[in-house]
Amino acid sequence: MRLPAARGPISDQLFSRLTGPPGKVGPLDPGPLPLGDDDLQLALFACYELHYQGFEEVDERWEWEPSLLRARAGLERGFEDALALAVPRPAPVDPQHVRRALTALAVGAEGPPLSQFLQRTADLGQFREFAVHRSIYHLKEADPHTWAIPRLHGRAKAALVEIQADEYGGGRRERMHSELFRTTLRGLGLDDSYGAHLGRVPGITLAISNAMSLFGLHRRLRGALAGHLAALEMTSSLPNRRYATGLRRLGGEAAATRFYEEHVQADAVHEQIAANDLCGGLAAAHPSLTGDILYGAACALTLERLWAGHVMDCWERGVSSLAELESAVASP
């Protein structure tokens, strides 16, 4: 993909440097900013993307440029401070109680009724908007959590490998969840190329992916990454059933709904593995990480609630939750 347009002084300064030869980058310390600030989240997303597929016009040597990593650390401090304000840190629990605590967080996480709206009421344009938001993560689904594999051992490592093997289609490209979502995008008449919609999603959408990358790229946050994945799996099956029903109601073909139907079944299994073996195994081996595990789960649930609230608020006011949605529709 290509770099999108900057959204403020932080991303403007960053992008002007990234499009040149690798060299010194000055500080990008944003100071206090809201969690969903567009400029902060886009700049941080671009920094993280250098560890994934990168950008066409950015030299790959930027990935490990020391001054860029220092600048990224300033953005991360701003993001972590904003997360800390938005997400109360759960109290640590005994390792044997981690599953119960995760369940309590998941049960109490009911947010705006977005999945019910998509199931029963949304029109095709709104479902397209939903898919555009989700493309930011789903087109690289599982990649951020995979960073944790070499940072775990024993029961927790085996559990994460088992989950990720399913996410990557068991070695079959056409079954990879990212590939299934590309089919969904095409079925909706949307561009299915990686990063195609980066320039039109709000900061709160980017924050969802940035939290995964933050937790995944820092060994100190491996507990938060495990809890984050567990929260996603524990709250996935029912919404995905509703998404599949809603897309069928709107005329979606079987190939387009398969992504959601796959998650209804797979995530019901992954929920057990993630909560019991990944998080339970990590907590048993490292009891000091139980608070981090629960905090990662709370971050995942809070960001999802805030994002859904943004989308529903826009739709209730009769406006798009994206900019220029029509430009995302594929040409006939």
pLDDT score for 221: 98
Mean pLDDT of 88-114: 90
Q: Rounded mean pLDDT of 277-296?
A: 98
pLDDT(327) > 90: no
pLDDT beyond 90 at 93: yes
**Statement: residue 332 has pLDDT above 50:** no
How many CB atoms neighbour CB 2 within 10 A? 11
Q: How many CB atoms lie within 10 A of CB 116?
A: 14
Q: What is the mean pLDDT of the chain?
A: 94
For 20-36, what is the mean pLDDT? 91
pLDDT for position 304:
96
Task: Kindly report, residue by residue over 186-218, the tens digit of the pLDDT.
Answer: 999 999 999 999 999 999 999 999 999 999 999
pLDDT at position 265: 80
CATH code given to domain 95-328: 1.20.910.10
Residue 211 CA from chain centroid, whole number: 7
Q: 110 pLDDT exceeds 80?
A: no
CA–CA dist 262, 60 (Å, integer): 35
**In the chain, what percentage of residues exceed pLDDT 70?**
97
pLDDT band at 31 (very low <50, low <70, confident <90, very high): confident
Look at the block and give the residue holding tokens 């109490």: 108
Count Cα atoms within 13 angstroms, Cβ side, for 280.
13
pLDDT for the residue 109: 72
pLDDT at 267: 75
pLDDT tens across 215-247, in order?
A: 999 999 999 999 999 999 999 999 999 999 999
Using the structure block, give the residue that is written with the tokens 């040597």: 61
- Please determine, for residue 161, whether its predicted confidence score (pLDDT) is greater than 60: yes
What's the count of helices (H) and strands (E) in the chain, helices before strands? 15, 0
Q: Which amino acid is at 248?
A: R
- Which of 50, 44, 54 minimizes the C-alpha distance to 83? 44
326 has pLDDT over 90: no
How far apart are the C-alpha atoms of 246 and 242, rounded to whole Å? 6
Q: Which residues pair with 329 in a beta bridge?
A: 190
Domain boundaries of the chain, sorted by first residue: 9-86, 95-328
What mean pLDDT is predicted for residues 147-173?
96
What mean pLDDT do residues 69-86 have? 97
Average pLDDT over residues 287-305: 98
> Could you give the CA distance from residue 270 to residue 161 in angstroms, rounded to a whole number?
11
pLDDT at position 134 is 98
CB distance 296 to 232 below 8 Å: no
Q: What is the pTM of this model?
A: 0.94
Q: Helix-strand-coil percent breakdown of the chain, rounded to 5? A: 70, 0, 30
Calculate Rg over the CA atoms of the chain. 19
Q: What does the pLDDT average to over 303-323?
A: 95
pLDDT higher at 93 or 330: 93
